[in-house]
Structure 1
Amino acid sequence: MIRKIVTLLFVLSFAINGKAQDFQLGKVTIEELEEKQHPKDTAAVAAVLFKKGRMELVISQKHGFLLNTVVKMRLKVYKKEGYLWGVEKIKLYDTEKVKEEISFSKASTFNLVNGVVEESKMDDKATFDYRINKFWNQKNIVFPSVKEGSIIEYEYTIKTPFYKRPRDWNFQMEIPVNYSEYKTIIPEFYIYNTITKGFFSPKIDLKIKDKKATLDISNLFRMEEYKEKQTTYTLENLPALKNEIYVNNVNDYCSSLIQQITSSDFEIGDEKKVDEKWNKVLQSIYDLEFAKELNQKAFFEQDIKPLIVSLTSPEEKMMAILSYVKNNIKWNGNLGYEVENGIKKAFKNKSGNIGDINVMLTAMLKYTGLDTNLVLSSTRENGIAAFPVTSAFDYVISSVKTPDKIFLLDASEYNSMPNILPLRVINWYGYLIVNKGNSQKINLVKSESSYKFTSMNFEIAPDGVVNGKLKQQQNNHNAMLYRDYAANENLESYIEKLEIESGKIEIKDYHRENINELEKPIEEYFSFSGNSLCEVIHDKIYFSPMLFFAFKENPFKQEKRGYPIEYDFPFENKYQINVKIPEGYAIESVPKPIEISIIEDIAKFKFLTKVIDNEIQISVVHQINESVIKAQNYDLLKEYYQKMIEKENEKIVLKKA
């Protein structure tokens, strides 16, 4: 770090141009308070009237360079559902050695009382801290007197030593944003790589200012002249960031600004340049968090050696170690690629965070001689790891390379299997860390396809009562999710819910197999009867051959879509149905066969029928073969679902012979 800095004073000027002058705290108008709904989004529960940020590099004698970020915000509450915006939550890095500091210079709520603007200021009792983990603390600020019509405004400053990676600036939020401005003030000595993401691009205003600074190193004073880069990014009239079906994390598409320092031309002491490349970031994480942990073996050797002594194939060893960790070390619920307590302590306590468990798993796999590496990744909640910075990641899994393929493993999830990862971590890409070598980008959404095969035989009585038997098999992710659900639901309650969801049928003779044999598909068997699955009108019987399995409505309802369609995993749902018609009835009509395929077989649907004597055979297949489908294909997919729904709900018509 910086060895000798006594004083470096940057003479800063904060030029506020034209329109920005209108956005000042404290100047709340009666017109703003009287506004009943947002002019562009009448359904909005609240809206940001303006949000301004200013990021500036400064010198601290104690810490070296610090990054100061000042945030000013004015927010309008329209409806009761908007009261939640009366609580601000700010995440801060907080350890014994390094702390981020926050200070509020203003925090008030404004209301219109008897035609007069009344201000309620926040007091110290309205703030409280929430410890997330040993690294992060959350500051919660509760604003007073929030009601329909209120205006909330605040200003705070965050001081952080992490100037190499400023906080992201989100222009867009879950409510409309009328105006958002972010200004960066950076001396020419530092160069930041800046990217913007989302569907709205900010207007950029760049100014270069001549500056002077007095530098004192080793008691030698020197006046330095330099240039300062002032960049202002603005966006106006941003719509609310609204979630849509089949979107893992809508914030991945939020209009935002992300920065990472790339080089330093002004070096003091042992200050080093930062390389933005992924390999450098990954190697630095490896050296800091994993290198020492992965070389440990003494504390687990006597437990692991007997497990593998008779095993020969890489797959056998991999499964033995994975099963051992899953059965002996429990996840404490905390995320993070950093080892929270160290793998030795986690082994002793039989509990740990994600880092503890999966780094331990990798150390054990390494001990067996397998070609194993860690894979850094980001949960869906954290967002896509799209930029080469350490904060892009909050998760780590393990990998094993065999002559045939690469397996991805996560021992924190008991019901997971190789390449069948928990949904929380199936988030676009991960990065396999090869120590002192070229790391590898790993596609996490190219999961194994999961099938659900349903065999159903039923017969219809003349009064429309249906009696049948059903067998269903599920594998891979479908099986994992089923096992997770079954672990938290008693059997009686599960059957009761299944009866209701399946059209109020009555289920008998229910049993299931392979609930604990993770390598096998889940199997369910039961008999059922129902008196509301057919319509009897005069001398005709009408029914959908898929009964309670038919799609009822199209999940894609909006006219246009801006986000990709993200499925949890590729899947294939197959149905083989045999229907026995009652004596004295003949078939009047049966749905015609159809085959639909779009976008080079990314989505496929088949509906085939065959009549043999008094039986009708129906074969149905619905496949989604890619986890992520581009937004420009939304119309095609929407039409695909509509045709599928129409076909699945077509009726077979029987008439008296």
Structure 2
Amino acid sequence: MKKILAVICFCSLFLSTQAQDFNFGAITHDDYEFNKKTLDSNANAVVLREFGTATLQLDDATGRLLLMFNYHVKIKIYNKEGFNQANIVIPTYKDDSREELIKNLKASTFNYVDGKFVETVMDKKAVFTENRSKYTSLTKFTLPNIKDGSIIEYSYLLQSPNYFNFKTWEFQSDIPKVSSEYIAYIPGNYNYNVTLRGFNKLNEQKAELSKECLRLNGVTIDCSKMTYNMKNVPAFLEEDYMTAASNFKSAIYFELSDMQMTNGSKQSFTKAWKDVDYELTSDKNFGSHMKRKDVFKDLLPSILKNTTDELSKAQAIYNYIKKQIKWNSYYGKYSEENIKNVLENRSGNAAGINLSLIAALSAADLDAEAVIISTRDNGNVNKLYPIISDFNYVVAKVNIGEKSYLLDATEPLLPFGLLPLRCINDQGRVINLKKPSYWIDLKAAQKSVTNYALNGKLNSDGKIKGTITTTTLGYAAFNKRKEIKKYNSTDEYVEKLDEGLAKLSILKQEILNIDSVDKPLIETYEVEFAAHDGSNQNQLYINPFFINRISKNPFNLNERTYPVDLGAASDERISITISLPENYVVQEKPKDMGLALPSAGGRYLLQTNLTDNNLVLNQVLQFNKAIYAPEEYLYLKEFYSKIIQNQKTDLFLKKAN
């Protein structure tokens, strides 16, 4: 969702004015008495003021250019539900030689006591750092003495070696903001593409001249002081079924386009795809990895010994790579190790595994390509010009006859041709060693399918005893297999499943095709559960929605400005047949329903009847699209609401005289 695309221009600049920061600790009665109803009556906390600046400075000690980002915020907390705003997490990034640092951190809580504001300064011992991964650290702290009505304030300096993306500024967060202002000082010899994402408009955007803001190699450089201000910013509320929030939040993004060197030369960073293709195919951790067919020369005869055609060859190689190389849980479009080390260590990141898969497929004379993608949690890529940093993952593509298959060998429980849901995100760029790159849609190759079938009998003691058979395919089967594999055995999994079913007991079980991932996963359980307490057998109340009942609407916003992204279409069917004692008639039952979403987007069908002492319920819930537009949101909300309301109704059976 890119609303404005602009390139910084230095042709109409005005004289610089003082940055509009505010004094730390200058709490006023207006702050304390701020009426949240002017923004959002449901808010638990409100950002009263937020300010940031970003500049480039030369580090005299190392001679490196650093980005210096100052951040300052003041937040009003209204109730206990807003106390979590006092728990602060600041991510910083690092690699082998460079890392971001947090400096000059200060934080205080202000409470109004006996007619005056009392400040509680946070102890520096309350700050700690968590190493989230080898690439990410988290600076964490909690402000002290939080109460209803507290005002918290904190500020810090982030020192970063990464100025390619300058510093993103998010106008929106999970609470509303009265004012959010960002000032970026861009040296005149640096040219950035600047993008405003989201649905909210800037209240102020201006460019001014800041003289002699930087000195490089003895040359003084003027800056463009870019001011961005947004007022009365609504909270961004995340819901289920969405891709990265960064796709939709109102925020300013920067991408370095080119820079003028002090010697007069120019370096361009915005390239054509042909330049990116060459860089990737030449890179030792990407293209060179794909080319190493020789590594698999001696392995292929045993891998392919039972294959008869190209498809079975591709499947055998895919299964071999899945089995031989364990994913270390790191993403990446470049392999962390050369292909020999990946195979010898039997471990690698996503790129190491999938580039090895491509090399193995190519060694078998199959037409294999790489696809660089941005995962769902990483956001969408910029299609206007190549930005290699937008991509954070790579999968394989093999072309067999007229059909292509996208493969990711990081997940042993995924069937051939089905990508993990994290990879289903808009489009990827196909990288071929010999041909120009091109875009490809990233779509789920299969529906998520679940079928439940219960055949049971109501006994005189008020208990229903029977068999539930669950058959799953696609993502439903993948997720169920992952859950089962968390346990040491299927018995342990079933025991845990039984503990979580309050009114139902599992007596026996059988689970088929756990490791045969190209087949449906079939679970069969002999179960027993109470339909009534046996005190009045002339009248029975049964709620027939005891299998995967929908009790909560996933859509609760009055309006949603971003799509509902399920990742894949889905189909769920429930069939229940219960044999009843003779002479029962239906007095009340959930009404039969036939609901449909617009444009054949999905449907819900429900039918219950009593025939020959057999209570039969059939239910179908289908979503025929993976993505629903924002304007379809209210239809989805109402769709779920009607289903939930109907599933609250019990089935009332009465014995005939």
Same fold (TM over 0.5): yes
Distance 1:236 1:575, change over 3 A: same
Q: Counterpart in 2 of 1:294?
A: 290
Q: Counterpart in 2 of 1:367?
A: 363
Report 1:36-55 matches (<5 A): 40=39, 46-55=45-54
**1:522 shift after superposition:** 0.7
**1:77 shift after superposition:** 5.3
Q: For residues 617 and 380 of structure 1, what CA distance do their matches in structure 2 show?
A: 41
Equivalent residue in structure 2 for 1:477, among 470, 475, 478: 475
Judge which range, 526-535 or 514-523, deviates more: 526-535
Kept in 2, the 8 Å contact 1:93–1:100? The answer is yes
Q: For residues 86 and 247 of structure 1, what CA distance do their matches in structure 2 show?
A: 25
Kept in 1, the 8 Å contact 2:169–2:252? The answer is yes
Q: Counterpart in 2 of 1:3?
A: none
User: Would you say 1:15 and 2:20 are equivalent positions?
Assistant: no
Q: Where do 5+ consecutive residues of structure 1 fail to align?
A: 1-10
Judge which range, 60-69 or 309-318, deviates more: 60-69
Q: How many residues align?
A: 633
- For residues 207-252 of structure 1, what are the alpha-carbon distances to aligned partners after superposition, in whole Å with 9 as ceiling and x for unaligned? 35396899998xxx9999x8x5432111122233332233344343
Kept in 1, the 8 Å contact 2:15–2:210? The answer is no
User: Would you say 1:239 and 2:224 are equivalent positions?
Assistant: no
Q: For residues 31 and 363 of structure 1, what CA distance do their matches in structure 2 show?
A: 67
Q: For residues 168 and 222 of structure 1, what CA distance do their matches in structure 2 show?
A: 28
Q: Which amino acid aligns with 1:398?
A: A
Q: For residues 310 and 470 of structure 1, what CA distance do their matches in structure 2 show?
A: 37
Kept in 1, the 8 Å contact 2:86–2:143? The answer is no
Equivalent residue in structure 1 for 2:27, among 1, 26, 29: 29
**1:493 shift after superposition:** 4.8
Report 1:117-196 matches (<5 A): 117-118=118-119, 120=121, 123=124, 129-134=129-134, 136-138=135-137, 140=139, 142=141, 145=144, 147-148=146-147, 149=150, 151-160=152-161, 162-196=162-196
Q: For residues 44 and 590 of structure 1, what CA distance do their matches in structure 2 show?
A: 41
State the secondary structure of the residue aligned to 1:338.
coil
Q: Counterpart in 1 of 2:638?
A: 639
Report 1:586-605 matches (<5 A): 586-588=585-587, 593-605=592-604
**1:290 shift after superposition:** 0.4
Distance 1:653 1:87, change over 3 A: closer
TM-score if structure 2 supplies the norm length? 0.84
Report 1:238-277 matches (<5 A): 238-264=233-259, 268=263, 271-275=266-270
State the secondary structure of the residue aligned to 2:378.
coil
**1:415 shift after superposition:** 0.6
Q: Counterpart in 2 of 1:564?
A: 563
- For residues 41-84 of structure 1, what are the alpha-carbon distances to aligned partners after superposition, in whole Å with 9 as ceiling and x for unaligned? 57656543322222345667865765443333334555666356
Distance 1:619 1:223, change over 3 A: closer
Q: For residues 636 and 278 of structure 2, what CA distance do their matches in structure 1 show?
A: 41
Q: Which amino acid aligns with 1:342?
A: N
**1:573 shift after superposition:** 0.8
User: Would you say 1:406 and 2:407 are equivalent positions?
Assistant: no
Q: Which amino acid aligns with 1:163?
A: Y
**1:296 shift after superposition:** 2.1
Q: Counterpart in 1 of 2:10?
A: none
Q: For residues 170 and 255 of structure 2, what CA distance do their matches in structure 1 show?
A: 15
Q: For residues 220 and 633 of structure 2, what CA distance do their matches in structure 1 show?
A: 60
Distance 1:45 1:272, change over 3 A: same
Q: Counterpart in 1 of 2:338?
A: 342
Judge which range, 482-491 or 600-609, deviates more: 600-609
Distance 1:167 1:452, change over 3 A: same
Distance 1:621 1:386, change over 3 A: farther
Kept in 2, the 8 Å contact 1:330–1:412? The answer is yes
Equivalent residue in structure 2 for 1:230, among 225, 231, 238: 225
TM-score if structure 1 supplies the norm length? 0.84
**1:487 shift after superposition:** 0.8
User: Would you say 1:433 and 2:428 are equivalent positions?
Assistant: no
Q: For residues 12 and 103 of structure 1, what CA distance do their matches in structure 2 show?
A: 32
Among all aligned residue pairs of Structure 1 and Structure 2, give the percentage whose two residues are the same amino acid.
Answer: 25
Q: Which amino acid aligns with 1:203?
A: N
Report 1:325-336 matches (<5 A): 325-336=321-332
**1:105 shift after superposition:** 3.8
Q: For residues 488 and 214 of structure 1, what CA distance do their matches in structure 2 show?
A: 55
Report 1:539-618 matches (<5 A): 539-588=538-587, 593-609=592-608, 612-618=611-617
Kept in 2, the 8 Å contact 1:171–1:180? The answer is yes
**1:358 shift after superposition:** 1.7
- For residues 390-421 of structure 1, what are the alpha-carbon distances to aligned partners after superposition, in whole Å with 9 as ceiling and x for unaligned? 33222222221222322121211111123322
Distance 1:133 1:362, change over 3 A: farther
- For residues 273-297 of structure 1, what are the alpha-carbon distances to aligned partners after superposition, in whole Å with 9 as ceiling and x for unaligned? 1225566556544543401222224
**1:483 shift after superposition:** 0.7
Q: Counterpart in 2 of 1:7?
A: none
Q: For residues 329 and 53 of structure 1, what CA distance do their matches in structure 2 show?
A: 45
Q: For residues 601 and 502 of structure 1, what CA distance do their matches in structure 2 show?
A: 35
Distance 1:253 1:366, change over 3 A: same
**1:452 shift after superposition:** 1.0
Kept in 1, the 8 Å contact 2:168–2:254? The answer is yes
Q: Which amino acid aligns with 1:261?
A: L
State the secondary structure of the residue aligned to 1:639.
helix
State the secondary structure of the residue aligned to 2:51.
strand
Distance 1:644 1:74, change over 3 A: closer
- For residues 89-137 of structure 1, what are the alpha-carbon distances to aligned partners after superposition, in whole Å with 9 as ceiling and x for unaligned? 23133322xx2554624523244588465463765x6665555555x34
Q: Counterpart in 2 of 1:92?
A: 93
Q: Where do 5+ consecutive residues of structure 2 fail to align?
A: 1-12
Kept in 2, the 8 Å contact 1:261–1:276? The answer is no
State the secondary structure of the residue aligned to 2:289.
helix
State the secondary structure of the residue aligned to 1:506.
strand
State the secondary structure of the residue aligned to 1:323.
helix
